[in-house]
Amino acid sequence: MVWYNLAMENEQNKKTILVVENDVPTSDAIIAKLTLRGFNTLKADDGAKGVKMAIDYHPDLILLDILMPNIDGLEAMKQIREEGTWGKSVPIFLLTNLSPDEERIMKGVTRDEPAYYLIKTNFNLDDVVDKIKEKLNL
Where are the domains positioned within the chain? 14-131
According to the model, what pLDDT value does residue 2 have?
46
**CA 3 to chain centroid:** 31
- Check residue 109 and give its pLDDT: 60
How many residues are listed for the chain in this entry?
A: 138
CATH classification of 14-131 is 3.40.605.10, yes or no?
no
Strands 92-96, 40-44: pairing is unpaired
Nearest to 88 by CA among 117, 67, 107, 62: 62
Model pLDDT, residue 71: 92
| 95: phi then psi, degrees, rounded to nearest 5 | -115, 130
Which is it for the CA torsion 98, 73, 92, 126, positive or negative? negative
Structure confidence by residue, pLDDT tens digits, 96-114 = 776 555 666 656 565 555 4
pTM, 2 dp: 0.82
Q: For residue 27, report the phi and psi dihedrals to the nearest 5 degrees.
A: -65, -40
The per-residue pLDDT for range 44-89, each reduced to its tens digit, is 999 999 999 999 999 999 999 988 888 988 899 999 999 889 999 9
Q: Among 3-12, 101-110, 124-133, which stretch is predicted with the lowest mean pLDDT?
A: 3-12
Burial class (CB in 10 A: 0-12, 13-18, 19+), 26: middle
Q: What is the pLDDT of residue 5?
A: 47
| pLDDT confidence of residue 57 | 97
* Per-residue pLDDT band at 6 (split at 50, 70, 90): very low
Q: Residue 136's closest CA among 40, 3, 32?
A: 40
